[in-house]
């Protein structure tokens, strides 16, 4: 695998200007609001002037923008570098560390995305392969129709319809709370991943696992539905492309067994598929905000929307940054997998 290491280093270096750019955009967003956030944070119109003044000083609201920027960035970095979170940025409304709040909500969004991704892959890939093999059959038409309706449906509308079917009528899902493993309370978890479903699995609390599945499968399905249809179409097209390429013709002419031909075709078909999965992850994160709202999940998306409503700019900065960071990391991983599968990419 010569060259992979150099490629990874190069790719990691381009990561740095982008992440600085991302923090700048987030910072600009936070500074668009002309209203005085300090007053809102101190409790609105009746806030005591000395408290407002203290908050203004604490958050450097009277200083020029670059000092504010450095203050915010320092606040973010020091949360992760200092073990006591010395100097980390604090939520002005609750006086808790921003990232404490964010990491409290993150597992919910992670589990939602996990369930969605499971649905996307288990529906999208097999359906795409079947429709490529049975080209122009009813199942091919169905997949086309599925992809079209999936991309056309407002996610909240689909969510409410599914909720009506599976909650109101069938009671196959629950809508209240987020189940947590019991070992969190007693502190007896053998390993803590901070993701409830994994921790419950490791601790052997299978009833909790079932509860989590019951709570999350429907939102996950709703969130993944759109992407699953699109993925099926992509899998179909790239598999057909691969099957009709010269090296497959050659393999057939050589008399290779069908199993081998399939293996070659599949490997080549999955190069574009992996890119699509990475790109779709962005709309998955965006859709998660709406899905969390529909199903009342207290995740990162809900947190962001609430923070916006309270003009809680430090929280908005933190949450938006985390979203961008997750998306960037996913795309980085996709690029790495991509270059591992297809060595031609590493130019």
Partner 1 sequence: MPLASEEVYEKKFLDKITDKLVDTVAGIINKIKPGWIVKNKSRIDEWKLMFYAFNRSPPGVIGAILILGFILIGIFGPYFAPYSYREFLYIEYGETYLVPPGTTVVSKGKTFYFPLGTDKYGRDLVSLILYGARVSLVVSMIVIALGVPLGIILGLVAGYFGGKIDEIIMRITDTFLAFPALILAIAFAAVLPERLRPIIIYNEQLKTILSIFFAADPKDAANFAPILSVILAIIIVWWPGYTRIIRGSVLSVRENLYVEAARALGVSTWKILTRHILPNVISPVLVLITLDVGAVILVEAGLSFLGLGAQDPMVDWGKIVYDGAQFFPDRWWLVIFPGLATFLAVLGWNLVGDTLRDVLDPRTRRSIEFKIKKKKPVPSSEEGGSS
Site residues, partner 1 (CB under 8 A): 14, 17-19, 21-22, 24-26, 29-30, 32-35, 148-149, 151-157, 160-161, 163-164, 168, 281-287, 289-290, 293-294, 304-305, 308-309, 316, 320, 323-324, 327-328
Q: Nearest distance from residue 157's CB to partner 1, in Å?
A: 3
Q: Nearest distance from residue 18's CB to partner 1, in Å?
A: 5
Q: Nearest distance from residue 229's CB to partner 1, in Å?
A: 11
Tokens standing for residue 221: 């399905």
Beta strands in the chain (DSSP E): none
Complex with partner 1: residue 183 or 235, whichever CB lies closer: 235
Q: What is the spatial distance between Cα 42 and Cα 58, in angstroms, rounded to a whole number?
A: 12
Complex with partner 1: residue 196 or 318, whichever CB lies closer: 318
Q: Nearest distance from residue 89's CB to partner 1, in Å?
A: 17
Complex with partner 1: residue 24 or 67, whichever CB lies closer: 24
Number of H helices, E strands in the chain: 14, 0
Q: What is the spatial distance between Cα 219 and Cα 110, in angstroms, rounded to a whole number?
A: 12
Q: What is the spatial distance between Cα 308 and Cα 315, in angstroms, rounded to a whole number?
A: 8
Complex with partner 1: residue 230 or 251, whichever CB lies closer: 230
Q: Nearest distance from residue 181's CB to partner 1, in Å?
A: 29
Q: Is 339 left (phi over 0), alpha (psi -120 to 50) or beta?
A: alpha
Q: Nearest distance from residue 268's CB to partner 1, in Å?
A: 21
How far from 161 is each of 44, 157, 158, CA to CA, in Å? Answer: 39, 6, 5
Tokens standing for residue 319: 């949450």
Residues in the chain: 347
Complex with partner 1: residue 55 or 230, whichever CB lies closer: 230
Complex with partner 1: residue 213 or 271, whichever CB lies closer: 271
Q: What is the spatial distance between Cα 335 and Cα 347, in angstroms, rounded to a whole number?
A: 13
Q: Nearest distance from residue 201's CB to partner 1, in Å?
A: 28
Q: Identify whether the C-beta of residue 113 lies closer than 8 Å to the C-beta of residue 288.
A: yes
Q: Identify whether the C-beta of residue 304 lies closer than 8 Å to the C-beta of residue 316.
A: yes
Tokens standing for residue 269: 């078909």
Complex with partner 1: residue 212 or 235, whichever CB lies closer: 235
Complex with partner 1: residue 47 or 328, whichever CB lies closer: 328
Q: Nearest distance from residue 208's CB to partner 1, in Å?
A: 28
What is the DSSP annotation of 146-212? Answer: HHHHHHHS-HHHHHHHHHIIIIIIS--S--SS----THHHHT--SS--S-HHHHHHHHT-HHHHHHH
Indicate the burial class of 48 (C-beta count within 10 angstroms; 0-12, 13-18, 19 or more): exposed
């Amino acid at each position: 695998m010569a060259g992979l290491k150099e490629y990874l280093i190069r790719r990691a270096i381009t990561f740095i200007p982008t992440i600085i750019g991302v923090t700048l955009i987030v910072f600009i967003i936070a500074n668009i609001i002309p209203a005085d956030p300090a007053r809102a944070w101190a409790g609105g119109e009746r806030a005591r002037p000395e408290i407002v003044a203290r908050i203004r000083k604490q958050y450097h609201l009277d200083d020029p923008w670059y000092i504010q920027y450095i203050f915010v960035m320092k606040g973010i970095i020091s949360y992760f570098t200092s073990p006591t979170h010395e100097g980390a940025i604090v939520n002005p409304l609750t006086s808790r560390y921003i990232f404490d709040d964010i990491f409290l909500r993150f597992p919910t969004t992670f589990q939602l995305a996990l369930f969605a991704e499971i649905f996307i892959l288990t529906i999208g890939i097999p359906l795409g392969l079947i429709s490529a093999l049975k080209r122009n059959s009813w199942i091919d038409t169905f997949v086309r129709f599925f992809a079209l309706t999936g991309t056309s449906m407002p996610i909240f509308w689909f969510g409410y319809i599914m909720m009506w079917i599976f909650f109101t009528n069938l009671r196959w899902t629950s809508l209240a709370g987020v189940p947590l493993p019991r070992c969190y309370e007693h502190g007896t978890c053998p390993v803590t991943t901070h993701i409830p479903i994994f921790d419950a699995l490791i601790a052997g609390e299978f009833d909790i696992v079932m509860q989590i599945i019951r709570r999350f499968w429907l939102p996950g399905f709703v969130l993944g539905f759109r992407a699953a249809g699109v993925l099926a179409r992509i899998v179909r097209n790239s598999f057909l492309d691969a099957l009709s390429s010269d090296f497959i013709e050659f393999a057939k002419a050589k008399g290779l067994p069908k199993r081998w031909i399939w293996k070659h075709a599949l490997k080549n078909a999955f190069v574009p598929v992996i890119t699509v999965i990475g790109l779709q992850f962005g709309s998955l994160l965006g859709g998660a905000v709406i899905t969390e709202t529909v199903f009342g999940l207290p995740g990162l998306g809900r947190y962001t929307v609430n923070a916006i409503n309270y003009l809680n700019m430090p929280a908005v900065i933190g949450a938006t940054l985390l979203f961008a960071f997750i998306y960037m990391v996913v795309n980085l991983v996709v690029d790495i997998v991509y270059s591992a599968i297809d060595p031609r990419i590493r130019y």
